Amino acid sequence: MTKLAYLLKSIWKEPSNRSQRLRRILFFFGWQLWKRLTDAPVTVRLFNGLRLRVYCDCDTSPAAVYYSIPNGNHISFLRKHLDGGTFIDVGANVGLVSLLVADKVQHAVLFEPNPIAVIRARENLGINRLNFEVFSQMLEFPPVEAWGGSANLRGAQAPRSERGARIQDAGR
């Protein structure tokens, strides 16, 4: 019951849901019923006009059902500061974040180690006719201590050497 209360509270308090709180709560219950009765994905329209396929077995994509702007504060921040260029989506999952900022960038490169999520990300990009790249790879970064900083991220410093991100094939 506490998970249900938490979800309902987060849907109600999300600033992007302000003018449609009851509608989003009804969407939540509708989605819960739908995924229990069927195993079929649904396609929803995002606030920026793009579409997202929402899967019953996915923990990420239903956010597009529950919230007008999923992760509203973070997405609003990104959208405010993006103006063209290439967006790098690390841990892209089904491509939701890339879709939410797609109209603000020229290109995106998505990295996702889960092969099912990679297929779904490509599908979501395809239904929107976006030619973004999706790589079935995991990016692994060195520990903060290797940067010459501390484990406390507030005190982390930029790398002093060539120790950058290491790309590792997700199939290994």
In tens, the pLDDT along 20-73 reads: 999 999 999 999 999 999 989 999 999 999 999 999 999 999 999 999 999 899
Range of the domain at 62: 2-138
Of 166 and 9, the structure prediction assigns the larger pLDDT to 9
Both 46 and 66 in one domain: the answer is yes
Strand order of the sheet with strand 107-111?
Answer: 86-90, 107-111, 133-135
- The mean per-residue pLDDT over the stretch 102-122 comes to 97
- The pTM assigned to this predicted structure is 0.79
pLDDT band at 171 (very low <50, low <70, confident <90, very high): very low
**Same domain (yes/no): 7, 72:** yes
If one counts the domains in the chain, the total is: 2
Helices (H) and strands (E) in the chain, counts: 6, 7
89 and 43 assigned to the same domain:
yes
**Could you give the CA distance from residue 114 to residue 94 in angstroms, rounded to a whole number?**
10
Q: Which helix (H) or strand (E) holds 44?
A: strand 42-45
Summarize pLDDT for 67-86 with one digit per residue, the tens: 999 989 999 999 999 999 99
- Nearest of 122, 70, 54, 62 to residue 92 by alpha carbon: 122
| Beta strands 42-45 and 107-111, pairing class | unpaired
Provide the mean pLDDT of the chain.
86
The more confidently predicted of residues 15 and 137 is 15
CATH number at residue 39: 3.40.50
